[in-house]
């Protein structure tokens, strides 16, 4: 019997409540589990419990043969391996990444820095796309609007940055859910777009539900 699929959920929002990415992710996770009730869900919160920033110790430890590592280097490598193991064990990764100051949250950047100190993922020795065949769903909430035709078109640097890592380096198949104008209800300059913001949020839940069922059913094949 094939093992049950694993959903790895990574939250990067610094908000414990009123987080749109967490809200949309809850919808995805709920419908994934409805389709695959036997599935395993692993959660890592790099927003509320961010990993420590990468230092020279963690970066250089990977280049030292295991038999010559100091206890501190061995610990650093074990921590990186634990994060990478979660990725290798996952059929689908649900990555919740709100847009902060035009880029990715700091905790998510540190998580990426950390996983790349595991030699299985480190791109410096050649890009091998080690997670080919797995899927990653990115949920992005954006305070404004950054789509084609908007005044801020091209200002969202998170989407291309994550695409480069997820698709080009790790080799995963990428699906994206965007919710725009999440600050319309508190930003006077966006007040005239509140209704569009409500519709964007509603659409985000609908896409998450449909995508969860599709991906979970695919895992059954």
- Residue 13 among known ligand-binding residues: yes
- Per the domain annotation, does 60 fall within a domain? yes
Report if residue 1 sits inside a domain. Answer: no
Within a domain: residue 50? yes
Has residue 137 been placed in a domain?
Answer: yes
Asked whether residue 172 is assigned to any structural domain, the reply reads yes
Q: Domain for residue 30, yes or no?
A: yes
Domain total in the chain: 1
The pLDDT of residue 220 is 55
Residue 166 has a pLDDT of 97
Q: What is the pLDDT of residues 65-104, one digit of tens each?
A: 999 999 999 999 999 999 999 999 999 999 999 999 999 9
Q: Tell me the pTM.
A: 0.93
Q: Could you tell me the CATH number of the domain that includes residue 175? A: 3.40.50.360
DSSP string, 34-70: HH-TT-EEEEEETTTSPPPPP-HHHHHHTTS-GGG--
Structural domain containing residue 87: 6-219
Position 212 in a domain:
yes
Beta strands in the chain (DSSP E): 6-11, 40-45, 92-96, 135-141, 173-179
User: Is residue 154 a part of any domain in this protein?
Assistant: yes
């Amino acid at each position: 019997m094939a093992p049950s699929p694993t959903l790895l959920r990574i939250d990067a929002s610094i908000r414990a409540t009123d987080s749109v990415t967490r809200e949309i992710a809850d919808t995805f996770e709920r419908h994934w589990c409805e389709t695959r009730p036997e599935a395993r869900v692993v959660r890592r919160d790099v927003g509320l419990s961010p990993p420590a920033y990468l230092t020279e110790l963690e970066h250089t430890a990977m280049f030292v043969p295991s038999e010559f590592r100091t206890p501190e280097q061995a610990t650093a490598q074990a921590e990186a391996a634990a994060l990478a193991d979660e990725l290798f064990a996952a059929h689908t990764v649900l990555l919740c990444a709100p847009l902060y100051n035009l880029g990715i949250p700091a905790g998510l950047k540190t998580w990426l820095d950390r996983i790349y100190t595991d030699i299985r993922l480190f791109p410096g020795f050649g890009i091998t796309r080690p997670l080919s065949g797995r899927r990653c769903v990115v949920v992005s909430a954006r305070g404004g609007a950054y789509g084609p035709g908007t005044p801020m078109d091209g200002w969202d640097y998170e989407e291309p940055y994550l695409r480069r890592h997820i698709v080009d380096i790790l080799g995963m198949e990428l699906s994206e859910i965007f919710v725009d104008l999440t600050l319309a209800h508190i930003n006077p300059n966006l007040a005239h777009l509140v209704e569009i913001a409500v519709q964007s949020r509603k659409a985000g839940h609908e896409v998450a539900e449909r995508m969860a069922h599709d991906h979970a059913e695919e895992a059954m094949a």
